[in-house]
Structure 1
């Protein structure tokens, strides 16, 4: 059963809220309940032998927070950091982590009917980390299952790298 179906059942038909952000030309969404805060991109402390998508760590009010660059993670070209670059601080399974995105636009409210399952793309695209596609008027959001993504085996390196 898809994650969105479970969320939709739990909400008994209530609308779901997603923080909309951009990576390259695409617009993505992440469950707003996982978002702790938004910050501008700041210098990070690199960690030796960490994968390329893990930019390093920052000290956020005494908590060491790993920072993941989603453009690198999703192979969306060379990231550039400017005044629009945002770090979304997430709270996932009692762990705090940050993800770097190109920009954040707004919070989108979607009814369960506005969320479609992610199409099966075979080996071309890993849809394991997607909840589905959210449609709102002319907009289409790629809805990321951030719990699954951040707890996946390659992201588990975050824990090892920061311990």
Structure 2
């Protein structure tokens, strides 16, 4: 029996990615961040999110070892929930929310040596091409979670 899942779709370069909507809090425009010293290079910095909390921003281009944004002012930030914390994921553009039949989603491919494969929960074969569905719990590593805790609790 197949079911449908709702996926927030976004782009990085020419590639299409998605995240389960159950992990997404909001989509916001990019704003200049405050860079913190001694953080991983893909942590863009922090912002004041809704005047309520410090929101660390991860530059997904840098995390995936892609060329950095030419113009960050056009980037979008997907705010995701990681346990009781929120983190911003900086992407090129957020496209839409799609309902995808689970029968169209294949388990992640067994591609030897593909370091980024650990972030992938599945690949959807759609009429307009492949959609790589990311696993937020693996995208944000344990080391990242430690850094995030230090950022928001300092």
Same-fold call, TM > 0.5?
yes
Correspondence for 1:17: 6
The question of 1:86 aligning with 2:55 is answered: no
1:113-128 alignment, distance < 5 Å: 113-128=103-118
How far apart in 1 are the matches of 2:74 and 2:110? Answer: 32
How far apart in 1 are the matches of 2:93 and 2:33? Answer: 18
Runs of 4+ residues over 6 Å off in structure 1: none
Higher strand share: 2
Correspondence for 1:52: 41
1:21-100 alignment, distance < 5 Å: 21-60=10-49, 61-100=51-90
Describe the superposition over 1:51-101 as per-residue Cα deviations: whole angstroms up to 9, x where unpaired.
Answer: 110011111122011000000000111222355310111122121110100
CA RMSD of aligned residues (A): 1.6
Question: How many corresponding residue pairs?
Answer: 151
Q: CA shift at 1:158, angstroms?
A: 2.0
TM-aligned CA distance change 1:133 to 1:83, over 3 Å: same
Correspondence for 1:158: 148
Runs of 5+ consecutive residues of structure 1 not aligned to the other structure: 1-11
